[in-house]
């Protein structure tokens, strides 16, 4: 779940337990996409004009920040290749 304050919360659906809280965006998180391979790599986009790549297998370690957009980023999609 992406939040207005820039946080991302990862929950276990069956138990309702909060597993991870990711905090790096400075503005509203607009979209989240997981890799289609099932590797638990997450991409998040925000109004702060960047994309962030997270590895949820490594406790939500931020792998990379993709910046340089001139406008807000509203959505993302990950190609299987």
26 assigned to some structural domain: yes
Per-residue model confidence (pLDDT) at position 48: 83
Dihedral through CA 54, CA 47, CA 36, CA 12, nearest 10?
Answer: 60
2 assigned to some structural domain: no
How many distinct structural domains can be found in the chain? 1
- pTM equals 0.83
C-alpha to C-alpha distances, 5 to 8, 37, 48, 80, nearest whole angstrom? 9, 29, 11, 30
Per-residue model confidence (pLDDT) at position 16: 94
Per-residue model confidence (pLDDT) at position 1: 52
Low-confidence ranges of the chain (pLDDT < 50): none
- The answer to whether the CB of 25 falls within 8 A of the CB of 52 is yes
13 assigned to some structural domain: yes
32 assigned to some structural domain: yes
71 assigned to some structural domain: no
- The answer to whether the CB of 44 falls within 8 A of the CB of 62 is no
Rounded Cα gap, residues 23 and 10, in angstroms: 12
């Amino acid at each position: 779940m992406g939040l207005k304050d820039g946080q991302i919360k990862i929950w276990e659906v069956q138990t309702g337990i909060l597993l991870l809280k990711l905090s790096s965006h400075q503005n509203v998180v607009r979209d989240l996409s997981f890799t289609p391979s099932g590797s638990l790599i997450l991409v998040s986009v925000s109004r702060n004009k960047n994309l962030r790549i997270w590895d949820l297998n490594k406790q939500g370690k931020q792998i990379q920040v993709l910046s340089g957009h001139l406008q807000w980023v509203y959505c993302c999609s990950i190609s299987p290749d």
